[in-house]
A and B are shown apart, each in its own frame.
Chain A
Amino acid sequence: MPLLGGLVLALFGHRRWAPELNASMSLCTLVAAAFLTARIIADGPMTAFHEQFFVDPFNVFLVALTTFVAFTTTLFSCPYMRTEAKHGRVNMARLRLYHSMYQFFTFTMLLCLLSNNVGVMWVAMEGATLSTVLLVSLYRTPASLEAAWKYFILCSVGLAQALFGTILLYFAAEKVLGPGVTSLLWTHLYEVRGALEPTVLSLAFVFLLLGYGTKVGLVPLHNWLPDAHAEGPTPISAVLSGLLLNVALYAVVRSKVLVDGALAHHFSGGLMMGFGLLSVVVAAFFLSRQRDIKRMFAYSSIEHMGIMTFAFGMGGAVAAFAGLLHMTVHSLTKSAIFFTAGHASQATGTQNMDDIRGLIQVSPAIGWGLVLGSVAILGMPPFGVFTSEFMVLTTAMHEHSWATPFLLVALGVAFAAIFGKVQPMVFGETTAPRLAHGPALIPVFVHLTIVLILGLYIPPYLVAWYRQAAALIG
């Protein structure tokens, strides 16, 4: 498995001085991941390194998404971080910290996705937290320190719960598979999941859901999320929102599949649906009260993670398909929005939405990027978010009709809140000077175009791929 080795080496290279090097590292990772994906599509699932790593359609899909967004984010971060340095918000030492931590963060996320070992997955997840904490507090302002501290404490405590869940899982598995590393491997656990002790497993799932759910940002465990997104540098907000939340949700879904095999009734799905619905509704109502642009879109992330959790909780092929599609389009759209929001606040010198006006006059690209991004994230056709939300809603109507009104009301409220705030920011007169340098908006329009294409037409091989992944978790 030389591909994975190359991947890890590419990520561990030290001392990145220039943003370009950062970007090229991510490009290498992307290429490696593309090869891996191609192999999986051709050959089917496989394992490597004494079964310590495994790849199946579900996680390879996330690997591809993660590396792609990580790469485009580095493209965006090149000019963005340069400008920040010029404004004196970061110095060279911090830039170095930023770049090396960025690569470590990508590495831990990939490790988390590819690991076959439940324990190693936990370690990687904690590693992802540790590597981003110092990034959130990169500007060293009181607000960013507070956000990072909150992020650190809440996520560590949450993950401690997940560790307890993992221990319980091992406890149950050890009875069937015997002590040793094999009892913690997903592939082995899936084979014997019917034989595992149901009471222990349901308790383990509760702990795992609480733990990784903290990281997904499920209400009521979401407190860290808006702060960390609003106070960190924009590229970090983009990867936190677009990628880390997905990875955490991946962990939850994996545990759910395992627990569903052991329990006869719909215990885990019900829990996930409840948490998901609560997140959607609460986040939608918080949206209208935000003043900070990044904070508002952070709440929108909570809302969308809620939709995905709800979709995966419903289970079944269609809902899982919709959940996966939603993961893709949300990652792409949300990171695009954060890119434009970052440029907007850089251009106007504030993150307060009341002070941002007339973006189209400042720079048409930023203005239209924000409009299109918001329209896409709000689930307007023809964008891909519409497709996935529509699928979630129709499935909900069929199977759990009680939930549909909540979802519809929440989506309506979110629409009113975001659209009402974005519209005055973009149109109208401005006091800010025109941008001296061109914004790096290629990633934004690439992302939005992909989302648009996914909304209009999903290529058949992609459908087949999603179906395979959905069959694994549905």
Chain B
Amino acid sequence: MPLASQFINLLAALLLLIAFAMLSQRRVLTLIKLFAWQGATLATSIVIVAWSTGQPHLYYSATLTVLLKVILIPWILHRLINRLNIRWDVETLINIPTTMLVGIGLVIFAFALATPISQTANAITRSTLGIALASVLLSFLMMIVRRKAIPQVIGFLSMENGLFFAATSATYGMPLVVELGIALDVLVGTFIFGIFFFHIREQFDSLDIRHMEKLKED
């Protein structure tokens, strides 16, 4: 099915693009929007894989993704930033062009790492494993360079997205039990993050991670 394969490649490229956009984004609200788009792209790609390979359980996992990552979590994050009344710009530790260059390096590294595995894959989604790994690493980078708590969390969640993409692209999805478990963990994790934001703000009057560098070796 070359058409489906083409589509998935297109979506994979889109996913990578969104990952880079998130890396370069300065505003929190846009970041959340981008995260929702990433979820939507992921869900579409899962649906296409499900349709072209006839794997019914993937439809569930696509529904789960839409519910959780396109609707619920962005909504929670929106409410959080409204309640906490934060609309500041995102600050980064390294400037954005440097971050982008590091990101490109990571993508190349991811492709180099994924090539031997892709050789053995006979899935229609062969070339996407590298992209999945790349978006995981890019989210990782985002967590490292961001200074505020919320962008770090979004980085974590988009890493989860990248992992889900890896799961669908390499293996047509994990068994449903596992996917449900992972989804539950992500949801609970988001709630705990939310609780955390309030505690942190209560203590430090800001969500800047810089305040949290007291515990180190002297």
Contacts and interface: CB of A to CB of B under 8 A. Distances in A.
A362 B193 CA distance: 41
Interface in B177-218: 177-178, 181-182, 184-185, 188-189, 192-193, 195-196, 199-200, 202-204, 209, 211-215, 217-218
Nearest to B189: A130
A143 interface: yes
A184 B171 contact: no
A231 B203 CA distance: 15
A203 B117 contact: yes
B200 A149 contact: yes
Given A167-B166, A286-B217, A145 B212 contact: yes
A54 B99 CA distance: 46
B136 A170 contact: no
B203 A140 contact: yes
Nearest to A206: B113
A137 B204 CA distance: 14
B136 A197 contact: no
Nearest to B163: A163
A299 to B, nearest CB: 10
Contacts of A130: 185, 188-189, 192
B175 interface: yes
A41 B170 CA distance: 40
Interface string A148-163: 1110110011001001
B80 interface: no
Interface in A67-125: 117, 119-120, 122-123
Given A146-B215, A148-B196, A227-B215, A167 B174 contact: yes
A142 B185 contact: no
Interface in B101-159: 113, 116-117, 120-121, 133, 136, 140, 143, 149, 152, 156, 159
A168 B117 CA distance: 9
A291 B216 CA distance: 12
A179 B122 CA distance: 13
Contacts of B213: 146
A164 B136 contact: yes
Given A119-B178, A160-B136, A160-B163, A142 B196 contact: no
Interface string B51-90: 0000100000000000000000000000000000000000
A117 B24 CA distance: 39
A188 to B, nearest CB: 13
Given A133-B192, A145-B200, A171-B170, A123 B160 contact: no
B171 A137 contact: no
A126 B196 contact: no
B199 A145 contact: yes
- Dominant secondary structure at the A interface: helix
B178 A117 contact: yes
B136 A127 contact: no
Which of B133, B199, B218 is packed against the most chain A CB atoms within 10 Å? Answer: B199
Interface string A165-181: 00110110011000111
A222 to B, nearest CB: 12
A398 interface: no
A235 B184 CA distance: 27
A199 interface: yes
A122 B211 CA distance: 32
A122 B213 CA distance: 30
B172 interface: yes
Contact of B181 (A120, A147, A291): A120
A123 B156 contact: no
Which of B170, B195, B211 is packed against the most chain A CB atoms within 10 Å? Answer: B170
Interface in A31-60: none
B156 A153 contact: yes
A134 B214 contact: no
Contact of B175 (A160, A180, A291): A180
A289 interface: yes
B29 interface: no
B167 interface: yes
B120 A157 contact: no
Nearest to B199: A145
A156 to B, nearest CB: 6
Contact of B203 (A145, A157, A163, A170): A145
Which of A137, A142, A184, A199 is packed against the most chain B CB atoms within 10 Å? Answer: A142
Contacts of A156: 156, 189
A200 interface: yes
Contact of B163 (A153, A167, A200): A167
Nearest to B176: A181
A10 to B, nearest CB: 21
B137 to A, nearest CB: 10
B129 to A, nearest CB: 9
A171 B181 contact: no
Given A123-B182, A150-B212, 18 more contacts: A117-B178, A122-B182, A137-B199, A141-B203, A142-B211, A142-B214, A145-B196, A145-B200, A149-B212, A152-B193, A156-B156, A156-B189, A157-B140, A160-B159, A167-B170, A197-B120, A199-B117, A291-B218
23 contacts: A117-B178, A119-B178, A119-B182, A120-B181, A122-B178, A123-B184, A130-B189, A134-B192, A142-B211, A142-B212, A143-B214, A152-B193, A160-B136, A170-B174, A174-B171, A179-B171, A180-B175, A183-B175, A184-B175, A200-B120, A203-B113, A289-B217, A291-B218
Interface of B: 55, 113, 116-117, 120-121, 133, 136, 140, 143, 149, 152, 156, 159-160, 163, 166-167, 170-172, 174-175, 177-178, 181-182, 184-185, 188-189, 192-193, 195-196, 199-200, 202-204, 209, 211-215, 217-218
Interface of A: 117, 119-120, 122-123, 126-127, 130, 133-134, 137, 140-143, 145-150, 152-153, 156-157, 160, 163-164, 167-168, 170-171, 174-175, 179-181, 183-184, 197, 199-200, 203, 227, 230-231, 286, 289, 291
